[in-house]
Structure 1
């Protein structure tokens, strides 16, 4: 790694002058990250931050099991949007 400066990550939709997220959830679509995410969404006593301070980052590359993609799109994304958490999907050009 060259240099010592830091680079800020710019995510569309969250850099509009409002509060910037201080909690980033790396959502890998698996059991552990799904449980953590749903627990933080539905059990406020398990977290020490406001949901407005959280962004959820994931990447659906197309290599997931069809059932995983279906379940995440059907059940999890709806929960994320219901709780007004900022979702950010990371993908490489040509894969989306």
Structure 2
């Protein structure tokens, strides 16, 4: 676990929130394949992935197999963060322009939230569980 990002946010012009899902992955790949068509400077782009700790193994495997090589090829900074605890504190799990893997989980996973609150994950709709786990900490 890295204590803090290696470079400051002053050199970051664009942050892409990558949830490993179909939509955010399609957007990310589109930016990586033709950044100039979208006015994107990949050297000043940061991809942010907040770990839920409960992604499907196949989802992580596909992201590692298909997307990480593109990030490495273009030397795009990938920062993987997790909630450090039930509080809103964030732990930086990895910060790299040459990411080798999608980290499985951090100190506090979405499932920990379910168990603590006595709830279950949503399978459809607006997926408030993911919004709570990711969006709440992103708006700190």
Superposed counterparts of 1:1-96, under 5 Å: 12-15=5-8, 20-93=11-84, 94-95=107-108
Unaligned runs of 5+ in 2: 85-106, 110-140
SS at match of 1:56: strand
TM-score normalised by length of structure 1: 0.75
Contact 1:24-1:57 within 8 A present in 2 as well = yes
RMSD of Structure 2 on Structure 1 (CA): 2.0
Note the alpha carbon deviations across 1:18-55, whole angstroms, 9 max, x for none: x6111000001111111111111111343112111100
TM-score normalised by length of structure 2: 0.53
Range that drifts further, 43-52 or 23-32: 43-52
Unaligned runs of 5+ in 1: 1-10
Structure with more relative contact order (C-alpha pairs < 8 Å, separation 6 or more): 1
Distance 2:56 2:37 in 1: 30
Kindly report structure 1 stretches of 4+ aligned residues shifted beyond 3 Å.
Answer: none
